[in-house]
């Protein structure tokens, strides 16, 4: 199981000679499917250029507590991270973190996060063995911070001893273990889950299509989360990204194909999650050959596509749980409530796709979950995987409560 796939990882890099090795840590995490956001201290940029991380990481480098795009970058980073890794961690950063001092973006993020933290110290042996550093490390370890390394070996300046940054492969493996340990227990063992993901494409001709901005990230995050909790997952997706290991992946393009695949896959499913952004209209008569500009603006009559969620809601087998989505640009709760009632869903996960850092293409999301019995659960800004985790927590808790009620009747 790849516990790094789809995870949002803040990679803190502080100012030591080992900062260049953080580039390799970044690359390994990205290669394993993680979304890596580098946070560099001013000192780090003396050893390695921010352009290197900008090129390799999933998001641009952050350095300042005063970011033009985000008034509170440290809380956004801290709250939306699945894990914060500091590699290398200097004596200064370790000391500030242990003492709760937040003088720069990295230390502020460390203090603002509730995600698991992995600290990878690197410094000269004399510094590593200093009682202040040893006490700070002991404090962090006692608070549950994961300390990886340092190792013994050659150090800068020709010295030898304890203080070398752990190998990039070992750091990536440690992050993976930490994320796996922080995962939910296998409380979906034996459940069959179908997820739809991505935006459909409705052909105009063999070259052009009507589409939408959905990236499929939220749907894939649901599939990854359900699989990591033991579910047997089928993902019907329009996007070219791997499903979780052992999942059945059905690739489709149009609403019609998604409708057929969903009808096939959902008959025996315990839980269906309709996260896909399905086109509502398609060209009624797509051209078999490319439309030529010289022939002028085409007449493009549209016809409605099947409403997959409504059809699933109308034919839902007893006991199946149906989760729909609502992508809105205004009146979120009102529009979502209409979809909950109108489509026969048990839950609607609603998001305002115009909100900052939420909705299409972002790695984070912020949603309202409306339930079959009129509750509204807000889920604040966090990674799409954490949103999936929170929604599944809610659905499973309701399922357990309902089963208990039925048993008591």
* Residues near ligand CTP (CB under 6 A): 255, 274, 276-278, 280, 305, 307-309, 324-327, 339
Q: CB neighbours (10 Å) of residue 24?
A: 16
CB 58 within 8 A of CB 36: yes
**Shortest approach of ligand CTP to residue 331 CB, angstroms?**
10
CB 248 within 8 A of CB 294: no
Q: Classify residue 344 by burial, with Cβ atoms within 10 Å: 0-12, 13-18, 19+.
A: middle
CA–CA separation, 20 and 177 (whole Å): 24
Q: Which two tokens stand for residue 219?
A: 């749907």
**Shortest approach of ligand CTP to residue 73 CB, angstroms?**
30
**Shortest approach of ligand CTP to residue 393 CB, angstroms?**
20
The SS3 assignment for 268 reads: coil
Q: Which is nearer to ligand CTP, 351 or 364 (CB)?
A: 351
What are the E-state strand segments in 223-320? 232-237, 248-251, 271-274, 281-283, 302-304
**Shortest approach of ligand CTP to residue 292 CB, angstroms?**
30
Backbone dihedral angles phi then psi of residue 95, each to the nearest 5 degrees: -65, -45
Q: Which is nearer to ligand CTP, 21 or 384 (CB)?
A: 384
Active site residue 2: no
The SS3 assignment for 279 reads: coil
CB 367 within 8 A of CB 380: no
CA–CA separation, 361 and 220 (whole Å): 12
**Shortest approach of ligand CTP to residue 305 CB, angstroms?**
5
CA–CA separation, 207 and 156 (whole Å): 57
CA–CA separation, 174 and 180 (whole Å): 10
**Shortest approach of ligand CTP to residue 193 CB, angstroms?**
15
Say which of 2, 212, 335, 357 is annotated catalytic. 212
CA–CA separation, 209 and 201 (whole Å): 6
Please identify every residue annotated as catalytic.
Answer: 212
């Amino acid at each position: 199981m790849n516990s790094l796939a789809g995870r949002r990882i803040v990679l803190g890099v502080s100012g030591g000679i080992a900062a260049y090795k953080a580039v390799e840590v970044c690359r390994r995490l990205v290669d394993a499917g993680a979304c890596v956001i580098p946070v560099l201290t001013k000192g780090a940029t003396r050893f390695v250029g921010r352009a290197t991380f900008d090129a390799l990481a999933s998001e641009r480098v952050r350095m300042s507590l005063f970011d033009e795009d985000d008034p509170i970058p440290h809380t956004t980073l801290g709250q939306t991270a699945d894990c914060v890794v500091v590699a290398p961690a200097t004596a200064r950063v370790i000391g500030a973190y242990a003492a709760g001092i937040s003088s720069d973006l990295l230390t502020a993020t460390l203090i603002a996060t509730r995600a698991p933290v992995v600290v990878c110290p690197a410094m000269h042996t004399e510094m590593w063995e200093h009682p202040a550093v040893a006490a700070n490390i002991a404090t962090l370890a006692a608070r549950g911070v994961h300390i990886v390394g340092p190792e013994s070996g050659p150090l800068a300046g020709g010295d030898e001893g304890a203080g070398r940054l752990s190998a990039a492969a070992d750091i990536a493996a440690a992050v993976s273990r930490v994320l796996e340990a922080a995962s939910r227990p296998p409380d979906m063992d034996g459940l069959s889950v179908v997820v739809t993901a991505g935006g459909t494409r409705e052909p105009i001709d063999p070259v052009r299509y009507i589409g939408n901005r959905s990236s499929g990230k939220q749907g894939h995050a649901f599939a990854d989360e359900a699989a990591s909790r033991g579910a047997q997952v089928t993902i019907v997706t329009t996007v070219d990204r791997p499903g979780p290991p052992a999942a059945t992946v059905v690739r489709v393009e149009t609403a019609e194909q998604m409708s057929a695949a969903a009808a096939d896959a959902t008959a025996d499913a315990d839980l269906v999650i309709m996260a896909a952004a399905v086109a509502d209209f398609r060209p009624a008569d797509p051209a078999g050959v490319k439309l030529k500009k010289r022939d002028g603006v085409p007449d493009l009559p549209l016809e409605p596509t099947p409403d997959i969620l409504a059809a699933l809601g109308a034919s839902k087998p007893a006991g199946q749980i149906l989760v729909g989505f609502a992508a809105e640009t205004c009146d979120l709760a009102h529009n979502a409530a209409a979809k909950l009632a109108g489509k026969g869903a048990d839950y609607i996960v609603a998001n305002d796709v115009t909100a900052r850092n939420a909705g299409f293409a972002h790695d984070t999301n912020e949603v309202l979950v409306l339930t079959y019995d009129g509750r509204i659960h807000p889920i604040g800004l966090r990674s799409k995987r954490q949103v999936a985790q929170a929604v599944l927590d809610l659905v499973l808790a309701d399922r357990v409560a309902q089963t208990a009620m039925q048993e008591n009747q």
